[in-house]
Amino acid sequence: MGTMKNTVFLALFAILILGCSNDDVSPTQIIGNWKLMEAKFYSPEGESSTDYSNSNIIYNFKANGTLVVSGEEHPGYTDGTYEYFFGNDFLGGETDPKVLLVKINGSKWTYDLTQGKMTLGKSYVDGPNLIFKRN
C-alpha cells in the first residue's frame, strides 16, 4: 500500500513539475510604470554603466500595447508614445529558437525580470541593457 502511495505521489509530482514552464509568462507582468535605474554598456574595451536612479525616467507599458516614455535624455527612447509587443518571438532569424522579448516600434529587446528588476537588453547587438524597477 505504501509503495502505491509513493508511486501516485511521484507521478503527480512529475506532472506538476512538467506542467510548469518558464514559457508561461503573464502578458500583464510588464504592464505599469517602470523607472530607469541604470544603463549598462558593453564594448571590446569592457563594461561601463550610467546611474539613472536619481532621474525620473519612466517607461509606462499600457495594456493596449502602447508605451509612453517620459523623463530626461537617456540611451533608450526619447519622450513619446510607441507601440510595443511583449512575448516570445525570434531574436534572430526564423531558424533560431524563440525567446521572451519586448519589441518597441519593431526594435527587439531581450527581456528579463529577476528580483523585481526588469532588464531590457540590446547587448546582443552591442547596444545598452536598460535596468528598471517598478515605480
What domains can you pick out in the chain, each with its CATH number? 26-134 (2.40.128)
Tell me what pLDDT residue 29 has.
92
Tell me what pLDDT residue 8 has.
38
pTM of structure? 0.78
The H or E element spanning position 19 is: helix 2-19
Tell me what pLDDT residue 18 has.
36
Would you call 3 helix, strand, or coil by DSSP?
A: helix
Tell me what pLDDT residue 93 has.
86
Tens-place pLDDT, residues 61-115: 999 999 999 999 888 999 999 999 999 999 988 898 999 999 999 999 999 999 9
Tens-place pLDDT, residues 4-60: 444 433 333 333 333 344 445 676 799 999 999 999 999 888 999 999 999 999 999
71: left (phi over 0), alpha (psi -120 to 50) or beta: left
Distance CA 122, CA 87 (A): 16
